[in-house]
Amino acid sequence: MAEAVKEVSILWISEGMSCDGDTVSVTAAGMPSLEDVVLGLIPGIPKVRLYNKVLAYETGEDYIAIFRQAASGDIGPFILVIEGSIPNEKINGEGYWTSFGNDPETGQPITLNEWIDVLAPKAWAVVAAGTCATYGGIHAMAGNPTGCMGLADYLGWDFRSKAGIPIVNVPGCPVQPDNFMETLLWLLYQAAGKNPMIPLDDQLRPTWLFGKTVHEGCDRAGYYEQADFAEDYNSPKCQVKIGCWGPVVNCNVPKRGWMNGIGGCPNVGGICIACTMPGFPDRFMPFMDQPPGAALSSALNRPYGLLVRVLRALTNRTMNKEPKWHHNRDVLTTGYDPHAH
């Protein structure tokens, strides 16, 4: 086993095609919170130093200094977090799709791609935060001019970090805050020598977070079983017929909630548009239309569901009553015989 790491820097770059929404989302995490990790309040993890432009006091060269040191190999173990999709700088013409600081020798912008090329091979682990960084997201949809892509598309799906860890994808648009922090916590315990290799699926997502579908954790799933479908967005029933992709999407948000266990798209009336999936958004548009297969599956489910509903209603009427011996009369009718003993 590799030597346990005592201190880890987290170098977070969101200079790709990004709205910084994943950073904003992560500030709402509570299991664990970002503050608890950075302040060392989580037992057993290495000391953490976080470098993120949205949360930093430093600006300009003062902020970029740590990234330059990492590129030169002058800092200890670090986790590289990429937020935002990675454009194809080979087709940028005479300009730049991205920039993060300037080259001190030429004065020209340093692209995100150049930073990734230098930092990723030196990183203890590499994490893609949010769907743009994991699979390209909105910016990578058909017709985009930048040729942008996810981190694994750029580095290669067989990439391994300095510690031998694959790219860790935590998708979501934005990323669910506790999903990201829980993943980071796993890696920190792994760095401390207390966790095994992080388990990932074939899309490089943490298996314990993305191993089940939205439908399996949805508050409305019982309505689907009973073929009781919403016809509009005001209904509390299953939303498959009005555009929800939940039955085929790997995501735990309905079960986990969004903040403090509250929320989750279908739980609060929003259809699942599959934002954690590699094919998002192209394979799931047009949104709000009934997904392919939903009409057939709901039609096949209807006779069974109607029968189940009728039988359950009958059982409910039968069982939704108190026993007949609950009364305030002079005669005991519970079945107890005082002379039998």
State pTM to two decimals. Answer: 0.87
Q: Looking at residues 21-40, what average pLDDT do you find?
A: 96
What does the alpha-carbon distance between residue 150 and residue 203 come to, in Å, rounded to a whole number? 11
> What does the pLDDT look like over 118-129, one tens digit per residue?
999 999 999 999
Assess contact for 190 and 198: CB atoms under 8 A: yes
Q: Match 């000391």 to its residue by tokens.
A: 47
Residue 67 Rama label (left phi>0; alpha psi -120 to 50; beta): alpha
3-state secondary structure of 191: helix
**How high does pLDDT run on average in the chain?**
92
What does the alpha-carbon distance between residue 230 and residue 245 come to, in Å, rounded to a whole number? 14
Token output for 5: 């790491």
What does the alpha-carbon distance between residue 10 and residue 308 come to, in Å, rounded to a whole number? 53
What does the alpha-carbon distance between residue 313 and residue 309 come to, in Å, rounded to a whole number? 6
Q: Match 């031998």 to its residue by tokens.
A: 164
Residue 304: pLDDT above 70? no
Q: What pLDDT score does 222 carry?
A: 87
Q: What pLDDT score does 341 carry?
A: 65
What does the alpha-carbon distance between residue 224 and residue 294 come to, in Å, rounded to a whole number? 11
Residue 255 DSSP class: H
> What does the pLDDT look like over 154-213, one tens digit per residue?
999 999 999 999 999 999 999 999 999 999 999 999 999 999 999 999 999 999 999 999
What does the alpha-carbon distance between residue 180 and residue 32 come to, in Å, rounded to a whole number? 10
> What is the sign of the dihedral through the CA atoms of 209, 214, 215 and 220?
positive
Full set of structural domains in the chain with CATH = 7-210 (3.40.50.700), 212-317 (4.10.480.10)
Sheet harboring 47-51: ordered strands across?
A: 47-51, 7-13, 78-83, 125-129, 168-170
Measured in residues, the chain has a length of 341
Per cent of the chain over pLDDT 90 is 74
Separation of first and last alpha carbons in the chain: 70
Q: What pLDDT score does 325 carry?
A: 86
Q: Looking at residues 65-75, what average pLDDT do you find?
A: 97
Query: CA-based diameter of the chain, in Å?
Result: 104
Residues 6+ apart with CB under 8 A from 3: 193
Assess contact for 242 and 230: CB atoms under 8 A: yes
What does the alpha-carbon distance between residue 155 and residue 167 come to, in Å, rounded to a whole number? 9
What does the alpha-carbon distance between residue 277 and residue 273 come to, in Å, rounded to a whole number? 9
In order, the DSSP letters of 150-190 are -HHHHH-TT-B-TTSPBPEEE-BTTB-HHHHHHHHHHHHHH
Residue 60 DSSP class: H
Assess contact for 138 and 281: CB atoms under 8 A: yes
Confidence band for 253, pLDDT divided at 50, 70 and 90: very high
Please, what is the Cα angle at 76 between 74 and 80, to 5 degrees? 95
What does the alpha-carbon distance between residue 300 and residue 293 come to, in Å, rounded to a whole number? 11
Assess contact for 11 and 51: CB atoms under 8 A: yes
Q: What pLDDT score does 183 carry?
A: 98
Amino acid letter, 122 = K
To the nearest 10°, the Cα dihedral for 62, 63, 65, 68? -150
